[in-house]
């Protein structure tokens, strides 16, 4: 095996155009050839498999090798995707738009892709500078493109990057799903098997999009919720989490008529090291501490935070009982606020629907029923949510919201921020705040609460072991609550969401869902409860979280 790995590594080295990963790999090869066990193990980890298209296309750690993100892998992906698009075009000239964020190598990967698409005979359009992921998703539809590529790893750790793929036409600018993902992967594998990306045709005859694309996104997003009278009195804080959201959002605020926020200066501009946070995800403990401090100083009413590529939105509100005096709302709370907003606007529209992933709050179904709308529950990921028939709003609990499906068929943390500003401004007009809006949700649609248990692992095989243990010996109770039914979605029936998901419905009406993360080495457990009061629902979730942790300890 060591000889095979060394041969793979040497073949990779010969085609790598990046001096940094070349030097990294050359050193590993030298040590491994000398019998260094650690170097051999490192080579095995880098070459025993390939990064594959998953929930968000390609995503992984930067570095040399087929199991890392690098210029060789991106070249293979771009050439394979180009071959797929040419095949589907049946002789026409496909158009593909490429965007990129502020992560390490994002611009390089995007430029490589543009050159390879152009070299393959496609019309390639590179966005004018680093921009949020929603701008790329918008550009696919706005330009009538056949496809789009966004180079980003969203909220992953600093050393990661990724390659997110969208399809135009009948797919309306949504992310790829089966069978396209497998077909693209097949084309990529054929390019990889050919063995030398330096032989792929390249061209610098790609286009660079003009500012009109960005301006069109700004106009469309400002129209989501133009500022009502009295909005000028809003006091709020914003952080871009070291990402690319601020420039675009600040222009939208001006266009929509909202006041500029107090900003977290340390996190406002793109920084690939994400130096002020251990993990650039607003959901992670500590990630919003600087925002909380800024909000206390400004005596703000609320905080809005985008993740680094601005496709997600976090909201926090004052809370005397929370540490530091501020509480970040759950993704489900925000999703129900925005879902109720959309439902009120769509009431009476034939075929209009709300959609969420199966791990998100069942409260959205209650909202849809209350307003006479259709409701769709999908697999996790906006590639599924965005395809729900008649969708006027969709969300997933991981801070993703689709509020403007006519222009962006993906989660969009910037348009969601504008929608929240609209709700906050309207509430302020009647001397209320976001906390009051949440209480009103419970009074109108029922009291729902949610929680999550997330277990991060170093060895991803442990996740498969736990899932197998739960399937082999299904639990019958969680704490004092009996499990009324257990569903394995690997064995779902026709027309039902199917995936590596276990769903438990409890006798008291609560729900617990277990699944591996699609983008990170985590096992995730989602807990939802409904009760006669907000306090009762929260208490039920807390008890179930403790029971789930105990169960996972037993099975791991």
* 535 vs 543: CA distance, rounded Å: 12
Which segment of 271-285, 436-450, 453-467 scores lowest on mean pLDDT? 453-467
- CB distance 483 to 476 below 8 Å: yes
Task: Give the list of residues 6+ apart from residue 318 with CB closer than 8 angstroms, or none.
Answer: 295, 301, 302, 325, 326, 327, 435
Nearest to 98 by CA among 61, 59, 137: 137
pLDDT above 90: residue 200: yes
153-183 per-residue burial string, b: 16 or more CB within 10 A, e: under 16 = bbbbebbbbbbbbbbbeebebbbbeeebbeb
Nearest to 390 by CA among 179, 216, 172: 172
pLDDT on residue 374: 98
Q: Which domains does the chain have, with CATH numbers?
A: 1-48 (no CATH), 53-209 (3.40.120.10), 211-445 (3.40.120.10), 447-555 (3.30.310.50)
Q: Which residues are catalytic?
A: 154
Tokens 């943390």, residue located: 413
* 59 vs 36: CA distance, rounded Å: 29
Segment 496-509, tens digit of pLDDT: 667 899 999 998 88
pLDDT on residue 456: 87
Cα 190 versus chain centre, distance:
29
Quickly count: other Cβ atoms within 10 Å of residue 462's Cβ. Answer: 14
pLDDT, mean over the chain: 94
pLDDT band for position 351 (cuts 50, 70, 90): very high
- CB distance 58 to 68 below 8 Å: no
Nearest to 53 by CA among 73, 33, 36: 73
């Amino acid at each position: 095996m060591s000889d095979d790995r060394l041969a793979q590594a040497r073949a990779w080295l010969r085609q790598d155009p990046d001096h940094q990963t070349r030097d990294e790999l050359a050193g590993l090869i030298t040590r491994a050839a000398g019998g260094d066990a650690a170097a051999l193990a490192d080579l095995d980890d880098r070459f025993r498999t390939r990064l594959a298209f998953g929930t968000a296309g390609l995503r992984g750690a930067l570095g040399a090798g087929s199991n890392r993100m690098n210029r060789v892998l991106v070249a293979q992906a771009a050439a394979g995707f180009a071959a797929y698009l040419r095949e589907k075009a049946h002789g026409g000239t496909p158009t593909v738009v490429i965007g990129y964020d502020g992560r390490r190598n994002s611009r390089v990967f995007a430029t490589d892709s543009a050159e390879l698409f152009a070299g393959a005979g496609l019309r390639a359009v590179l966005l004018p500078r680093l921009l949020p992921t929603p701008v790329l998703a918008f550009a696919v539809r706005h330009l009538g493109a056949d496809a789009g590529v966004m180079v980003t790893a969203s909220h992953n750790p600093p050393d990661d990057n990724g390659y997110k793929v969208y399809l135009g036409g009948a797919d309306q600018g949504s992310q790829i799903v089966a069978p396209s993902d497998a077909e693209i992967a097949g084309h990529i594998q054929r390019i990889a098997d050919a063995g030398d990306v330096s032989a792929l045709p390249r061209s610098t005859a790609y286009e660079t999009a003009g500012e009109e694309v960005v301006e069109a996104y700004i106009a469309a997003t400002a129209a989501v919720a133009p500022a009502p009278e009295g909005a000028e009195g809003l006091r709020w804080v914003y952080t871009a989490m070291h990402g690319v959201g601020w420039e675009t959002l600040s222009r939208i605020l001006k266009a929509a008529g909202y006041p500029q926020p107090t900003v977290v200066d340390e996190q406002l501009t793109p920084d690939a090291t994400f130096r002020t946070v251990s993990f650039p995800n607003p959901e992670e403990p500590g990630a919003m501490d600087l925002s909380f401090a800024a909000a206390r100083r400004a005596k703000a009413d609320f905080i809005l935070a985008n993740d680094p590529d601005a496709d997600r939105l976090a909201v926090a509100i004052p809370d005397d009982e929370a540490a530091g005096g501020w509480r970040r709302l759950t993704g489900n709370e925000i999703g129900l606020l925005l879902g109720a907003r959309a439902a009120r606007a769509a009431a009476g529209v034939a075929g209009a629907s709300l959609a969420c992933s199966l791990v998100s709050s069942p409260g959205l179904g209650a909202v849809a029923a209350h307003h006479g709308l259709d409701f769709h529950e999908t697999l996790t990921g906006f590639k599924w949510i965005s395809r729900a028939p008649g969708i006027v709003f969709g969300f997933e609990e991981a801070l993703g919201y689709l509020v403007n499906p006519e222009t962006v068929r993906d989660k969009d943390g910037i348009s969601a921020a504008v929608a929240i500003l609209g709700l906050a401004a309207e509430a302020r007009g009647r001397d209320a705040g976001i906390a009051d809006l949440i209480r009103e949700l419970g009074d109108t649609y029922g009291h729902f609460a949610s929680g999550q248990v997330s277990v991060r692992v170093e060895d991803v095989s442990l996740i498969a072991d736990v899932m197998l243990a739960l399937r082999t010996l299904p639990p019958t109770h969680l704490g004092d609550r009996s499990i009324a039914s257990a569903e394995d979605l690997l064995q779902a029936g026709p027309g039902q969401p199917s995936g590596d998901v276990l769903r438990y419905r409890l006798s008291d009406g609560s729900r617990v869902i277990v699944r591996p993360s699609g983008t990170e080495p985590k096992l995730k457990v989602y807990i939802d409860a409904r009760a006669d009061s907000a306090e009762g629902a929260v208490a039920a979730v807390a008890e179930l979280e403790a029971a789930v942790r105990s169960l996972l300890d037993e099975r791991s």
